[in-house]
Structure 1
Amino acid sequence: MARRLERLGESVILYDDSLASHIGPALFDPANWPDAEVAPGYAGGRGSTLFIEHAGQQWVLRHYHRGGFMGRWLDDEFPWLGLAHSRAFREWELLHWMQERSLPSPRPVAAHVRRRGLIYRADLVTVRIPDVRPLSTRLAAGPLPPAGWAAVGELIARFHAEGVFHADLTAHNIQIDSQGRLYLLDFDRGRRMPRPGRWQRRNLDRLQRSLRKISGGGIEFAEEHWQALLDAYRDSNAGDR
């Protein structure tokens, strides 16, 4: 993976030039993708994540939005603290680092930051992982066997063993393909941690809350499922780094 940085007017773009010889700001404008499919289960919400095809490659385009109370007022505007601190560049770098360690996560294509004065807006393009759906969607289709819950625990343990903190570990950001292979998506605000600690427990607690929230209404999630996940997580020695 070779990286290239380009400055074009208000835009700064960091991209992998082994995937594209040139990337300009037009790539990140949804108006240029009128037939693109809105990507289900990806981060961003409000139709801000699209499946696009570029030069025969399947990519995912995501525009960054604020969440919570501030999102009502600023939506997609963030305070400028420098390129290295922009959400798009930080996520691109983390994804790049994880790819080097063969962690099952999206391959980064390009990060885009458009600055105006003291604020910026941002986008991220990643390679689309084929044939996946959110764990939440998989659970709606039927119960997950014990081995499936164990696989989820092992997945989380792999990332934790490398010191990767996921800022929003939910049943939507864990994705599963038709062969049962698992992936983690949406590393916005994720980061590498220097040592094991409470952050690992916080990740697990966040996932448990997510699973409890979607349980019922045809989705089965019981204590025995969570225990199978935890047992596999602990057996993987996630705390040993």
Structure 2
Amino acid sequence: MNHVKRFNTYKKDSVWWMIDPEFEEALQQVGLGSLSQAKDWIKKGDPSNLSSTRLEPGRGVSQIIPIPGRSESLHLRRMLHGGLLAPLWRGHLAGVGRVRRELEVNSRLRQAGAPVPQPVFGMALRSGALWKACFATIYLPETQNANQWLSDGALENDKRRVGIRAIATSIAAFHAYGGKHPDLNAGNILVDKGGSELSAWIIDLDKVRVGTPSHPKRHRELKRLIRSIQKEGNPTLLTPLTQREFIETYEDSFQKKRNESL
């Protein structure tokens, strides 16, 4: 595994942030790290001096924000607790450790070759004894989450099977390059339609850990993914035939990637 990319870390007043130096100058132009901008980005997810396009929210606010002077845009999202305890936390985190960990895990996996978005910065704002935080990656413009893409009624069966194989290949690379994703489901896989061939990205890395998962753990993650597709989408999308093809594609790709990394 490659060394993690260096991020610059700052703390000013009640604001803490870590940022990829490549983007630091551009984002300083719009007040990155200032108290007023931190409040705006973290609490509303809508920067006051940048145009932004709101995405459909998942666990909270999610925005597309252009980066001044660059061709890329940011995908900015709030970092929130999920699950049954989410209402108790009320949008807060206990500290900045989760933000730091996701930046470092995301960066290490991307440098190793895993299909994950490029991380840009994480920011946290102290709120009493707790923190509120947001996280930014480079926006992937021609993507759609796997459930939405697979459930498209206009999608031809052959193309759907190509997409399923692309998802299997991307998960195999993610595992082979050291990703363990205990919350792998169709909502945190993006199908990318922007290239000459379909591909897929793994997102929502806040619970991900680095270290090649064992065979049983890898297949538990795959079964979880299949259940999520069948539960939230059309149950016929993964028939016994396509499930077998999915697993076979995954195993072939995993072994190839593991051999390449040795």
TM range (shorter): 0.7 to 0.9
Tell me the C-alpha RMSD between the 2 structures. Answer: 2.5
Provide, for residues 34-54 of structure 1, a one-character-per-residue CA deviation record: whole Å limited to 9, x for no partner. Answer: 8522224x7x424x1111112
How do 1:212-231 residues align onto structure 2 when only pairs under 5 Å count? 212-216=230-234, 220-231=237-248
The CA deviation at 1:224 is 1.5
**CA deviations over 1:97-136 (Å, ceiling 9, x no partner):** 1221232211111011223454222110111112111111
- Aligned position for 1:122: 133
Residue ranges of structure 2 left out of the alignment (5+ in a row): none
Q: In the aligned structure 1, how far is the partner of 2:212 from the partner of 2:149?
A: 34
Q: How has the CA–CA distance of structure 1 residues 96 and 230 changed in structure 2, closer, same or farther, with 3 Å as cutoff?
A: same
Instruction: Kindly indicate whether the alpha-carbon contact (under 8 Å) linking 1:131 and 1:177 is maintained by their aligned counterparts in 2.
Output: yes
8 Å CA contact 2:9, 2:18 repeated in 1? yes
Q: Does 1:100 align with 2:111?
A: yes
Q: Percent identity?
A: 21
Alpha-carbon spacing, 1:150–1:160, altered in 2? closer, same or farther (3 Å): same
Measured in 1, the distance between the counterparts of 2:228 and 2:207 equals 18
Partner SS, residue 60 of structure 1: strand
- Amino acid across the alignment from 1:204: L
1:164-179 → structure 2 map (5 Å cutoff): 164-178=179-193, 179=195
Matched residue count: 233
Q: Which has the higher helix share?
A: 2
Amino acid at match of 1:125: A
Q: Secondary structure at the match of 2:89?
A: coil
Counterpart mapping for 1:130-141 below 5 A: 130-141=141-152
Gaps of 5+ in 1: none
Match of residue 52 from structure 2:
36
Q: CA deviation digits over 1:32-75, x for unaligned, max 9?
A: 358522224x7x424x1111112143101110122222112223
Instruction: Note the 1:132-211 alignment, pairs <5 A.
Output: 132-141=143-152, 142=155, 143=157, 144-178=159-193, 179=195, 180-193=198-211, 196-211=214-229
Q: Measured at CA, do residues 147 and 107 of structure 1 come closer, stay the same or move farther in structure 2, by a change above 3 Å? A: same
What is the Cα deviation at residue 149 of structure 1? 2.0
Please report how far the alpha carbon of residue 172 of structure 1 lies from its aligned counterpart in structure 2 after TM superposition. Answer: 1.9
Matching residue's letter, 1:136: N
Query: Among residues 30, 33, 49, which one is paired with 2:62 in the alignment?
Result: 49
